[in-house]
Amino acid sequence: MLVTMKEIYTPFIKKEIIGPIFVVIGAFFLYQIGIKITKKIFVAKRGILDERKSKTIVSVVNNIIKYLLILVSILMILEIYGIATNGILTSLGVVGVVGGLALQDTLKDILSGVYILLENQYAVGDVVSIGDFKGEVLSLGLRTTRIKAYTGEIKIIANRNIVEVINHSMEKSLAIVNIPVSYNEDIDRVQIILNELCKKIKKGNKLIIGDILCLGITSFDESSMNFRITAEAKATRHHEVQRMILKEVKQVFDLEHIEIPYNQVVIHHA
């Protein structure tokens, strides 16, 4: 009985079996430790780097750590199985030349990713347009960039293919609201009411980070004169501000009995 059990468990305690398992587990824990250290380093430097760039650098560094650990783990496992890695490391120069030719696109991706990071073209959390696709940057890796559209689609783009980028998050956005008012209304009264409304909206609104102004009448339409309000909003948040301003305008116009006109059709009976 004891002899039979020994025959069963003996292969499992050999270094050829236990060794690779420990290498993989060790690499996993080192990767987790590396992630935590990287986060702590760049969280501590938030006064120097903005949050967007910190997240992006963390993402890239974590990718580098992952690939380095994979390479070291493979070499260690080969050593466990008695395969000399000195010759492998020596020949990496030749392999690197051949591999460089075969993996030109991958190298271009990596270099492009480094350029994007150094030139601060965009960072994790930014809203960008690349080609005809617009969305939020989920990650910037060594080879690819992941972007999520507002409708949920995720596009993965090779870094080498990112030539032109429109970054919607680098500067504040401008919310523009056109307000139709009946020709029967007093212009000065409407202007005063809208000016007071702008002051009210400005107070305590975290989305508006600059001026909010009523510019006065900007155009005349068939059934209305159009006032315009502009507000400097947080990057990419101008649509929310526009909806909020429209709601406030409707409420104050109802309270002040100011008419918002609508198109009318006159039918003549023969």
Interval 2-56: pLDDT, tens: 445 445 444 544 566 777 788 888 888 888 888 788 777 766 555 545 566 666 6
The answer to whether residue 75 scores a pLDDT higher than 90 is no
Instruction: Output the CA torsion 60→64→70→76 (10° steps).
Output: -160
Residue type, 73: S
Pair 109, 103: CB distance under 8 Å: no
Q: What digits encode the pLDDT tens for the residues 127-178?
A: 899 988 999 898 887 788 999 998 889 999 999 898 889 888 877 888 999 9
Q: Which residues pair with 144 in a beta bridge?
A: 158
Q: What digits encode the pLDDT tens for the residues 233-262?
A: 887 788 899 999 999 999 999 999 999 887
Neighbouring residues of 109: CB distance < 8 A, sequence distance ≥ 6: 142, 143, 144, 158, 159, 160
Domain segments of the chain: what residues?
14-90, 112-167, 173-256
Q: What digits encode the pLDDT tens for the residues 170-226?
A: 778 889 999 999 999 999 999 999 999 999 998 878 888 888 999 999 999 888 999
Give the model's pLDDT for residue 36: 82
Residue 88 CA to residue 82 CA, distance in Å, equals 13
Tell me which fold the domain 173-256 belongs to. Answer: Alpha-Beta Plaits (3.30.70)
pTM of the model: 0.53
Q: Does domain 112-167 have CATH number 3.40.640.10?
A: no
Residue 124: count other Cβ atoms within 10 Å of its Cβ: 21
